[in-house]
Amino acid sequence: MAGTAGCAADTPEATPLEGYDSYVALGDSFTAGPGIPPQTQGDPCGRSGSNYPTLVAAELAITDFVDVSCSAADSTAFTLPQTTFGGATVPPQYDALRTDTELVTVGIGGNDIGLVQLALGCVNLAAPPQGASCAVTNTAGGTDRFDEAIDTFAPTYDTVVDEIRRRSPDARIVLVGYPTGIRDGGCFPQQRIWPDDATYLQAKIDRLNTVMREQAEAAGVDYVDLRDSTRGHDACADPDNRWMEGLQVTAGAIPLHPNAAGHHNAADRVLAELGD
C-alpha cells in the first residue's frame, strides 16, 4: 500500500485495483481506531483519521467515503441508534448506506459475544494458583459459554449481508476479521494473563474469525483474514513490533486494541483482497 508498507511487514504485492466511487465502513472499535492519532475532536465514536477504512479510501482515492464505525458497537448498532460511552446518541450505521454505494467493509461481532469482557476476565495480577482461570470459569459444567455465544451469533453475519444488499444492491461487501490478540501460552507476567488463559482467549478470537469466514463464503462475499498476518505482532511482541496493544498501552491506541501499525496492516490486507 503506498505510504504504509513500511509500517507492516509482509505486505502483499500491489495489484491493480478496481475503481470505487463510494465507500461506507461499518464496524466497532477495531474498525474505528479509538486513541490512534489523529482523533476528531468531539467525535463520540472515537474514530481515527488513520484507521484502516480511511487508509483504504485514501489509497483508492475515494472522495465519497463515510465511516460510521463506532467504539462499543455491536450488531444492534447497525439497525438502532447507539448510545456511546460519553452519552451521545449516534444514528444506526445502516443509515449511511445508499443505493449507489459501491464498497462496504464490515468489522463486527466482538462486542456481540463479549470479547473484551472475556479478555478483562482473564487478567490475573498474581501467578497461579492465586486468582481464577477464565478458561476454567467459562467452561464450567462441560459447556463453553463463549463457543455457544459465537455459534448463536453466527447467522447474524448473513443477516448483515442481506441488509447491506437490500440497501446497496451493487456494493462489493468485505467482512474484516479480528487480528491476533495474544500468542498461545501468552507472556505472563508481561501481559497478566495465565498461559492456559491466553491460549483460551486466542482460541475464541479464532473461532469468531472462522465463523465470520464461513458465513462470508456461504453468502458469496469477501472475507479478509487478519489472523495470520498479525502473528508475532500480538500484545506479547516487543513494542517496536507490536500491532495489538495489551493492558498497558505503548503506542497511540486503547488497551486490547490494534494500534496504528495494526490498522496499516489491516488496510493492506483489505486492498489486497480488493485487488484479487
Chain Cα centroid distance, residue 201: 15
Annotated catalytic residue, options 233, 257, 263, 264 = 257
Largest CA distance in the chain: 58
Give the residue from 214, 230, 72, 89 showing the smallest Cα distance to 156: 214
Question: 216: which 3 cell numbers?
Answer: 462470508
Element (H, E) at 24: strand 22-27
- The interaxial angle of helices 260-274 and 52-59, nearest 10 deg, is 50
* Active-site pick, 29, 50, 75, 168: 29
User: How many CB atoms are located within 10 Å of the residue 12 CB?
Assistant: 15
Residue 263 · residue 251 · CB < 8 Å: no
d(CA 245, CA 249): 6
263: annotated active-site residue: no
Can you tell me the distance from the alpha carbon of 109 to that of 75, in angstroms, rounded to the nearest whole number? 7
Is residue 55 within 8 A of residue 61, CB to CB? The reply is no
CA 116, 121, 122, 123 torsion: positive or negative? positive
The reply to whether 257 belongs to the active site is yes
Which H or E element spans position 27?
strand 22-27
Active site residues: 29, 257
